[in-house]
Amino acid sequence: MRSRLITLAVLSVLAAGGCSTMSNALDAINPFGSSGPKMSPLPPLTAGTEFTTRWSVSVPKAGNDMVFVPATVGDAVYAAAGKGVLEKFEGGKRVWKIDVGQPLSAGVGANDRLVVVGTPKGEVLAFSAEDGKPRWQARVNSEVLAPPTVGDEGVAVRSGDNSIFLFGLEDGARKWVYQRSTPALSVRTTSAPVFADRFVFAGFPGGKIVAMSLQNGAPVWEGAVALPKGATELDRVADVVAPPVMEGSQLCAVAFQGRVACFDMAQGGSLIWSRDISSSVGLALDGRYLFVTDDQGVVYGLDRLSGSSLWKQDKLKNRRVSAPAVRLGYVAVGDAEGYVHFLSRDEGAFVGRQKTDGEPIKAPVKVFDSAFLVQTSGGELRLIEPK
């Protein structure tokens, strides 16, 4: 049950210090290798909703096992790739394409003025949203794995050591940095910080989610999504590795080897409910429900206010299922073979499926207008909508 994140945890140790004796163990604990659990076969589809591709474009491959998440602003879509390519599309047509001059490891963050990406060397690169011209450059402590978050308040960036930086929107000047100790073993995260109200929210190793003041980065509130427990360091890994989500004053987050937990920020961050579900990819909220993909690829629909179970879809087990997205009564997830699966929001039944380029969909599916936007590791950017 823990094998997917165990692999990720071991990889984070290998990346930090290198260990040839552990590398041979990866095949044994990797559920997607030849000796791991077998992917569930594709479930049959009965008559359902027809989904159509509004447009599809090719971008360079992600490369080096990186995860690139497209950004959407108004009618524009921004996409990046590992070799340093950054592109803007509108209506499926390329508006501009630039080479940033160095490899990239994370992106994209954007608003209507700025597009921001990160590099393996800890460089934060900002460009004009209008024409792609360079605007400013900043630096963080280590590699940038999560998309920068761009808002009116500034640009929030997570570095590989789990520090959170806030840079000025206009000039990239550093406003503050929030740092905390990291346990010896943790999951490598691509989770971006989140702006909400007067705070920046981010999850951390040890099962914590923290609200930092936009003004100075001081921690204002800390909630326990999970509590590390167990006899070994690996057992005690309990990290919040997906972005938190908010609906009104309700904040929800999920931890690996932990729980889904929701807090009421209007009541000082008091815990509303929690459920024992472990996830490394994330969750989605709408007005009534919460949806989460667990570490085995099982997708759950829960009542947003109480956490009670509504449905459970386990026919995608071991298919490396992405975080869910919800729109217009449908829940969409991607998998390791490039399929996008559409589930009924109210019942969890399969209602549609589309295949992309056959490459893994590691980035979360994104809602864009009335459709779902997918970027594959192989470099296909596709917008899919119900017909």
Residue type, 202: A
**SS in 3 state form for 251-268?**
EEEECCCCCEEEEEHHHC
* pLDDT higher than threshold 80 for residue 366: yes
Which H/E stretch holds residue 247?
strand 245-247
pLDDT over 60 (residue 86): yes
Q: Where do we find the tokens 């971006």?
A: 192
pLDDT tier at 21, thresholds 50, 70, 90: very low
Q: Does domain 195-240+243-278 have CATH number 2.40.10.480?
A: yes
Residue 173: phi and psi, rounded to 5, are -65, 140
pLDDT, one tens digit per residue, over 150-173 is: 999 999 999 999 999 999 999 999
Q: Which CATH superfamily is domain 48-64+282-387 in?
A: YVTN repeat-like/Quinoprotein amine dehydrogenase (2.130.10.10)
Write out pLDDT tens, residues 179-237. 988 777 878 877 899 999 899 999 999 999 999 999 999 999 999 999 888 778 888 88
**Domain residue ranges in the chain:** 1-38, 48-64+282-387, 68-189, 195-240+243-278
CA distance 208 to 213: 16
Residue 163 CB neighbours (<10 A): 17
DSSP letters, 300-339, are EEEETTT--EEEEE-TTTTS-----EEETTEEEEE-TTSE
What pLDDT does 190 receive?
Answer: 79
Residue-wise pLDDT for 253-277, tens only, equals 999 999 999 999 999 999 999 999 9
The CATH classification number of 68-189 equals 2.40.128.630
pTM: 0.90
Backbone angles phi, psi at 273, to 5 degrees: -160, 165
